[in-house]
Amino acid sequence: MSKILNEFLSSNLQDLKDNGLYNEINVVRGANGPVIDIDGEALINLSSNNYLGLATDELLKKAAKDTIDSHGVGAGAVRTINGTLDVHVELEETLAKFKGTEAAVAFQSGFNCNMAAIQGVMDKEDAILSDELNHASIIDGCRLSRAKIIRVNHSDMDDLRKKAREATESGQFKKVMYITDGVFSMDGDVAKLPEIVEIAKAFDLITYVDDAHGSGVMGKGAGTVKHFGLEKEVDIQMGTLSKAIGVVGGYIAGTQDLVDYLKVAARPFLFSTSLTPGDTKAINEAVKMLMASTELHDRLWENGDYLKKGLETLGFNIGNSETPITPCIIGDEKTTQAFSKRLMEEGVYAKSIVFPTVPRGTGRVRNMPTAAHTKEMLDEALEIYEKVGKELNVIS
Ligand code: PMP
């Protein structure tokens, strides 16, 4: 065993623990539904991305089981050898319809998809303008592409315009992209896509929207780009299949040429085994369900509005969320962590989010109500919030 590695690991782990930055992982026994079992305690779950409750949907479970029977548990190969099964093609056709684009291509995870697509399209002669609050998978995908990365202040259109002008007028870059989350997961705010598209047109920027938290949530379920009616304007729409869709995976939707190109240039498509058949079929059923009815979407928003109103009435700072994602901004890191711990002791699972995930002094407990929560669950959560809030002097 390497002595250097052992020393490196133990000293880093100790440092993290000493600074309160070591994340203890809670194990959920059984399904990730609106109520979860942690260490034998039933807790109201306000921390999952299972926005529509589809992770435990009976129809999707049956679709997965039947497909395991007909197709097996694994795809057997990467997409370009013989791991493209009929269920993958079917899913990609459904995704293109869902997004209103010519074509779509699925990947094994949302994270993987960002790494694949950003690196597939951009390279070292290019520049990427990237919102400073973009998700880690975007940041890593940008780094992997070796393009010059230019950080843009969060949703600051003047900063974007200025940096787009500088980048394009410098003549240094072959292509310039602007990349942004559609919905920002820490605050629940929405990217200003109409202005972004206008700036992109003026400077011939490639537009890339990661709609991990917008798909199933915005645009009556079809996402943030559809919400603004910009399906023909945004070049690259990315989404996850792991959050509102309830399963696992990611996808890119866009023109046929974009999809054809990614199928030859995106390394995880070429070198990593494709999505399992059971998951693929379940995803297909979930997307079809979202296209057929807005019932789950409507329930999600109703629950989101209910929780928001309740927390605001109690005196909590819920920031500027424009979606069901409801942060409860507490500020100080230690109080935030204590708050989340006390919520859990009282019966609510709502994870604290502190630096470095969010800026120092803006620690928060983030709440993700879903379509699967009942009003009774939300009322109980609000009572616990009130009790813990008063106890820790977060509200008066
Ligand atoms: N993009 C964003 C904005 C995300 O929030 C996430 C998940 N946290 C991902 C991409 C990665 O998606 P997945 O979990 O499906 O890999």
Q: How many domains does the chain have?
A: 2
In the prediction, which pLDDT does 357 show? 84
Residues 201 and 288 in one domain: yes
Could you tell me if 316 and 229 lie in one domain?
no
Q: Is 134 in the pocket of ligand 1 (CB under 6 A)?
A: no
Q: What ipTM does this complex have? A: 0.99
- Round the CA-based radius of gyration of the chain to a whole number and report it: 22
| Residues recorded for the chain | 396
**Which residue, by CA, sits nearest to atom 12 of ligand 1?**
110
124 and 135 inside one domain: yes
pLDDT at 24: 82
pLDDT at 373: 98
- Judge whether 66 lies within some domain: yes
Segment 149-159, tens digit of pLDDT: 999 999 999 99
Task: Give domain status of residue 396, yes or no.
Answer: no
Q: Are residues 206 and 324 in the same domain?
A: no
The residue out of 229, 258, 292 marking a domain boundary is 292
How many Cβ atoms are within 10 Å of 110's Cβ, its own excluded? 24
User: In a structure prediction context, what are the per-residue pLDDT tens digits for the chain, which is 396 residues long?
Assistant: 999 999 999 999 999 888 777 878 899 999 999 999 999 999 999 999 999 999 999 999 999 999 999 999 999 999 999 999 999 999 999 999 999 999 999 999 999 999 999 999 999 999 999 999 999 999 999 999 999 999 999 999 999 999 999 999 999 999 999 999 999 999 999 999 999 999 999 999 999 999 999 999 999 999 999 999 999 999 999 999 999 999 999 999 999 999 999 999 999 999 999 999 999 999 999 999 999 999 999 999 999 999 999 999 999 999 999 999 999 999 998 999 999 999 999 999 999 998 888 888 999 999 999 999 999 999 999 999 999 999 999 999
pLDDT, one tens digit per residue, over 108-133 is 999 999 999 999 999 999 999 999 99
Structure letter (DSSP) for residue 7? H
pLDDT at 384: 98
Question: What pLDDT score was predicted for residue 16?
Answer: 86
pLDDT value at residue 55: 97
Please give the biggest Cα pair distance in the chain. 63
| Strands, E assignment, 167-249 | 176-181, 206-210, 236-240
The span from the CA of 108 to the CA of 249, in Å, is 4
- Tell whether 25 and 149 lie within a shared domain: no
Give the C-alpha separation, 259 to 241, whole Å: 17
Please tell me the distance from the alpha carbon of residue 94 to that of residue 90, in angstroms, as a whole number.
Answer: 6
Q: Is residue 328 domain-resident?
A: yes
Q: Does one domain contain both 64 and 128?
A: yes
Contact (Cβ atoms closer than 8 angstroms) between residue 351 and residue 327? no
In the annotation, is 185 catalytic?
yes
Count of other CB atoms within 10 angstroms of residue 204:
10
Q: How large is the angle between the packed helices 277-292 and 58-71, nearest 10 degrees? A: 140
Ligand 1 mean position, distance from CA 115 (Å): 11
Residue 243 annotated in active site: yes
Q: Is the peptide bond before 356 cis (omega within 30 degrees of 0)?
A: yes
Alpha carbon of 263 to those of 104, 252, 337, 371: distances in Å? 10, 11, 44, 35
Residues 277, 175 within the same domain: yes
Active-site hit among 47, 48, 185, 340: 185
**Shortest-distance atom of ligand 1 to CA 113:** 16
- In this structure, the answer to whether residues 92 and 176 fall within a common structural domain is yes
Please answer whether residues 354 and 336 qualify as being in contact, where contact means their C-beta atoms are separated by less than 8 angstroms: yes
Question: Is the distance from CB of 283 to CB of 247 less than 8 angstroms?
Answer: yes
Look up the CATH number of the domain holding residue 38.
3.90.1150.10
Query: Do both 240 and 339 map to the same domain?
Result: no
- Strands in 127-131's sheet, in edge-to-edge order, are 103-107, 250-254, 236-240, 206-210, 176-181, 127-131, 148-152
Do 217 and 366 reside in the same domain of the chain?
A: no
| Per-residue tokens: 94 | 């459904």
**Ligand 1 center from residue 111 Cα (angstroms):** 5
Does residue 213 carry a catalytic annotation? yes
Containing structural domain, residue 322: 15-45+294-391
Q: Residue 273 burial by CB count (10 A; 0-12/13-18/19+): exposed, middle or buried?
A: middle
Joined tokens for residue 232: 């023909």
The reply to whether 223 and 121 lie within a common domain is yes
Choosing from 238, 258, 292, the residue where a domain stops is 292
- Helix/strand/coil (H, E, C) string of 108-173? CCHHHHHHHHHHHHCCCCCEEEEECCCCHHHHHHHHHHCCEEEEECCCCHHHHHHHHHHHHHCCCC
Q: Which of 108, 109, 135, 275 to mutate to test the pocket of ligand 1 (most atoms within 8 A of CB)?
A: 135
Q: Using alpha carbons only, what angle is made at residue 321 by residues 320 and 323, rounded to the nearest 5 degrees? A: 160
Q: Could you tell me the distance, in angstroms and rounded to a whole number, from the CA of residue 167 to the centre of ligand 1?
A: 28
**Ligand 1 touching residue 180 (CB < 6 A):** no
Whether residue 233 is found in the same domain as residue 377: no
Question: Is the Cβ atom of 106 under 6 angstroms away from ligand 1?
Answer: no
CA atoms within 13 A on the CB side of 208: 29
E-state strands within the chain:
28-29, 35-38, 41-45, 103-107, 127-131, 148-152, 176-181, 206-210, 236-240, 250-254, 326-331, 348-349, 352-353, 363-367
* Closest atom, ligand 1, to C-alpha of 114: 10
pLDDT in the model for residue 23: 78
Assigned domain for 6 exists = no
C-alpha distance from residue 320 to each of 20, 183, 246, 386 (Å): 28, 12, 26, 21
Asked if the structure places residue 50 within a domain, the reply is no
Angle between helix 333-346 and helix 375-391 axes, rounded to 10 deg:
130
| Domain-ending residue, one of 292, 309, 327 | 292
Structure token digits, residue 236: 């690259």
**Sign of the C-alpha dihedral, residues 317, 320, 321, 327?**
negative
Q: Do the domain assignments include residue 5?
A: no
The enclosing domain of 78 has a CATH number of 3.40.640.10
pTM: 0.96
Instruction: Tell me how crowded residue 391 is: count the other CB atoms within 10 A of its CB.
Output: 13
The angle, 0 to 180 degrees and rounded to 10, between the axes of the packed helices 256-265 and 110-121 is 100
51 is a domain residue = no
